[in-house]
Amino acid sequence: MLSVLAASAQARSVVEIGTGAGVGSLYLLRGMPLDGVLTTIDVEVEHQRAAKEAFAEAGIRSTRTRTISGRAHDVLPRLTDGAYDLVFIDADPEGCAGYVEQALRLLRPGGVVALDHALWHDRVADPARRDEITTIIREVGRALRADERVLSGMLPTGDGLLLGVRR
């Protein structure tokens, strides 16, 4: 799905929040044009190292990726407003509200924000579930749906992918 999103947005400039081992990064890169650049942010240096190895094994040129080690809340404000085609959020759920707000600032009109784990193990749709993380993700979904700056929708793939297109 990430490859399809990147391709449909014709994403040349992508931000990924939460690199992990680079699996999502590789799917994003597959959907991007060959001159596209992925900026991926992770607080864990070991994740960045694993992702760089995965990029090299996949034959991805080093000029196509920019890895930034650090807390996304510290890094995102330093990125350029309106300069990105796609922002993929796959990081700590506690920070996702702030990440979505930063993503909307970073996106050009027509750009896409994608929030992974938007169904949070099928808990978000269950009103009886009121734990902190479920409540945070549920509120982020409501806020995105109500935000006039975006057109949003949910893909029930995997653990849920909440999408918003910047108007």
pLDDT tens readout for residues 78-112: 999 999 999 999 999 999 999 999 999 999 999 99
Please report the pLDDT score of residue 118 as a whole number.
96
Q: What is the CA radius of gyration of the chain?
A: 15
pTM (predicted TM-score): 0.96
Q: Which residues pair with 84 in a beta bridge?
A: 107
pLDDT digits (tens, 9 = 90+) for 60-73: 999 999 999 999 99
Q: What span, in angstroms and rounded, lies between the C-alpha atoms of 25 and 126?
A: 31
Please report the pLDDT score of residue 155 as a whole number.
95
Q: What is the mean pLDDT of residues 112-128?
A: 95
Strand order across the 161-166 sheet: 65-69, 37-42, 13-17, 84-89, 107-116, 161-166, 150-155
Q: What is the DSSP letter of 152?
A: E
Q: What is the DSSP letter of 80?
A: P
Give all domains of the chain, ordered by start, each with its CATH number: 2-166 (3.40.50.150)
Please report the pLDDT score of residue 31 as a whole number.
98
